[in-house]
Amino acid sequence: MTTPPLLALDSIEVVYDGIVAALHGVTLEVPAGGIVALLGANGAGKSTTLKAASGLLAAERGKVVAGSVSFRGAPVRARGPVQLVREGLVQVLEGRHCFPHLTVEENLATGAFARRPSASDLRQSIERVLERFPRLRERRRAAAGHLSGGEQQMLALGRALIARPTLVLLDEPSMGLAPKVVEEMFTLVRTLHETEGMSFLLAEQNAAAALAVANTAYVLENGRVVAGGTVADIRARVDVRDLYLGGTGTGRTRFRARSEAPPPAT
Amino acid sequence: MSFFLEVLIGGLLAGVMYSMVAIGFVLIYKASGVFNFAQGAMVLFAALTFVSITERGVPFALALVITLAAMFALAIAVERAVLRPLVNAPPLSLFLATLGLAYVLEGLAQTVWGTQVHGLDLGISDAPIGAGAVSVSRFDLFAAATAASLVGGLGALFRWTRAGVALRAVADDPLAAIAVGIDLRRLWAIVWGAAGVVALVAGLLWGARVGVQFSLSLVVLKALPVLIIGGFSSIAGAIAGGLVVGASEKLAEVYVGPLVNGGIETWFPYVLALGFLLVKPAGLFGERSIERV
């Protein structure tokens, strides 16, 4: 007998504003304790897929018109985002979305509100997150709007962690960050996965970074899943490599050879 | 000079009354981005309920508690019946819903409590008290003190309580607030309840001034220039805007009025607001976004 996946999307179709179709039958699974990468170009439907899972679609006038989304074996349709956060499914939005006028501590606190913690529980939870992010501790009383991009990404992740999630939907965590910070982010994802058993669904354009931590991956194109499987499978597929993983090995060599060639003599 | 000071202080104190109404708007605007046209009707509803209960022999404190309970019940009803079905509707739909709500509330209040004018005596005399050459109304001072403690209370609420932090979070970024699991429905009920409390305080102060009657709901129109001048999203702005409107309209009436045969107090704030729209459209304390360099 197989255990049911933590999150399962079964051929869902999503429409915005009643007319704009964004997803055409997306099916994917996040097993308990898995890190799943969701790859694809800008506008392929990665964010929409995550929002369909977290119940945030409604806030943007989107709707799952066909198919089903289930978390822990029960459909999410009947549960609002607040309920889902309580049950352990939290999304970190693309572009961080920290509350700019709130302090770092206040930002973190908002992530715990859904489970209505006691005052001491709240304080301890904030401390625990700050232990993980020493840089945030230094700036705990600063307004989030004054943090650097990397610090804001840490804060957004910390704010999600404080809800004690079992599944985190991470949308483009590497966007606009320096390579070193990106590496730090993904190291953290792996640590959380290994030490806390947290599962992740990771939407990324930076395929190399995402595949380095993921177990399985899906590739989205124009609202459809065009490839899916283990990371090794995905890496092996030439068409996927060409389109999403920075071109084939030969393509890259050719590019380099050309650019490094000496200028023609005049 | 002392005459100028008297006019100025009188104007500022009158302005406090405008601020009280404007604060109710700001609360709801911050939480949901809706301009709540029904705030004036809530002022009328609160004052009329309170007066009618006291006229039936209920003691002051008990009447206050009953009215507060009524305002919170109203807040929950509004969240259930108006806001929840209109979630994610365009702002204009929500604005029109509050316009409808204003009529429902005005009609409801007058159906239940009648349409006659009620006097309201809070037991504070309007007699002037003097300080040197300047004398000001005792009642105006009381109103200012009430407003100050109300604002202080609200400020503490937003600074220290979870509802306050959640409210500021929603004002900053509604989508992120939903994503982290802030319960918007509950927050809206709280905010409308708080706006109801503000409406009650404003209704009592205004009612004691001009009598509790239908025209109370028209204070909504006076709050408009206050909000434009102060900025829609800031309580400090509502206070500053109220003071600016109060002081400038009284000074204009006294010093400019005679040149044009008077009566400019009623429209001067709107002209001032128009000027602000041209020069500083976000208002004195309007949304300042944090820009990182």
Residue position matching structure tokens 């997306």: A26
pLDDT digits (tens, 9 = 90+) for B221-242: 888 899 999 988 888 899 999 9
pLDDT along chain B (293 residues), means of 10: 86 88 90 87 92 90 94 92 84 91 91 85 78 78 89 88 93 92 91 93 88 84 90 88 93 88 86 90 73 54
- B161, B178, B180, best to mutate vs chain A, most A CBs in 10 Å: B180
Strands A224-230 and A62-71: unpaired
Examine the domain organization and report whether A30 and A65 are in the same domain: yes
* Shared domain check, A158 and A97: yes
Within-domain flag for A32:
yes
Contact B52, B118 (CB under 8 A): yes
Give pLDDT, residue B227. 92
Query: Which of chain B's residues have a Cβ under 8 Å away from the Cβ of A143?
Result: 290
Asked if the structure places residue A153 within a domain, the reply is yes
Cα of A237 to nearest chain B Cα, Å:
35
Is B63 within a domain? yes
Which H/E stretch holds residue B245? helix B235-251
- Please report whether residue B140 resides in a domain: yes
Interchain contact, A85 vs B181, CB within 8 Å: yes
Partner B contacted by A86 (CB < 8 A): yes
Residue among A123, A23, A133, A1 at smallest CA distance from A68: A23
- Domain span including residue A130: 89-164
Same domain flag for A72 and A97 = no
Interface test with B, best of A47, A89, A92, A101 (most B CBs within 10 A): A101
Instruction: For residues A151 and A98, state if they share a domain.
Output: yes
Our count of domains for chain A comes to: 2
Asked if residues B205 and B154 have their Cβ atoms less than 8 Å apart, the reply is no
In CATH, what number is assigned to the domain containing residue A42? 3.40.50.300
Same domain, A71 and A137: no
Three-state SS at B130: strand
Indicate yes or no: CB of A93 within 8 angstroms of CB of B176.
yes
Residue A34: closest CA among A206, A173, A261, A228: A228
Residue A69 and residue A75 in contact, taking contact as beta carbons nearer than 8 Å: yes
What domain range is B76 assigned to? 2-215
Tell whether A106 and A68 lie within a shared domain.
Answer: no
- Distances B30 to B25, B51, B120 between C-alpha atoms, Å: 9, 30, 32
- For residue B242, tell me if it sits in a domain: no
Question: pLDDT (tens digit, 9 = 90+) per residue, A48-84?
Answer: 999 999 999 988 889 999 999 999 988 988 788 999 9
Distance from CA of B87 to the nearest CA of A (A): 8
CA distance B202 to chain A (A): 29
Return the pLDDT at A255: 38
Domain assignment of residue B253, yes or no? no
Q: Does residue A249 sit within a domain?
A: yes
φ/ψ of A66, rounded to 5, equals -150, 160
- How many domains does one find in chain B? 1
Q: How high is the pLDDT of residue B289?
A: 59
Which residues does B18 contact at the CB level (< 8 Å), separation at least 6?
A: B219, B222, B223, B226, B241, B242, B245, B246
Distance CA A169, CA A203 (A): 8
- Kindly list the residues from chain A whose CB atom is less than 8 angstroms away from the CB atom of residue B166: 110, 113
Give domain status of residue A265, yes or no: no
pLDDT at site B35: 87
Residue B247 domain-assigned (yes or no): no
Residue with tokens 């006097």: B119
Is B131 buried (19+), middle (13-18) or exposed (0-12) by CB count in 10 A? exposed
**Do A69 and A8 fall within a single domain?**
yes
B56 touches chain A (CB under 8 A): no
Q: What averages of pLDDT result for each successive group of 10 residues across chain A (266 residues)?
A: 83 92 94 94 92 91 92 88 94 94 96 94 95 94 94 95 96 91 92 94 91 93 91 81 56 38 46
Asked, for residue B264, whether it belongs to a domain, the answer is no
Shared domain check, A74 and A203: yes
Alpha-carbon distance B211 to B45, whole Å?
13
Contact A219, A226 (CB under 8 A): yes
CA-closest candidate to residue A30, choices A57, A48, A4? A4
B79 in a structural domain: yes
Does the distance separating the beta carbons of A114 and B181 come in below 8 Å?
yes
Q: Is A125 on the interface with B (CB under 8 A)?
A: no
Do residue B180 and residue A109 have CB atoms under 8 angstroms apart?
no
Report yes or no on B289 lying in a domain.
no
What's the pLDDT at B217?
83
Kindly state whether residues A119 and A72 are assigned to the same domain.
no
**Residue B109's pLDDT is what?**
87
Q: Name the residue among B175, B183, B289 with its Cβ closest to that of A59.
A: B175
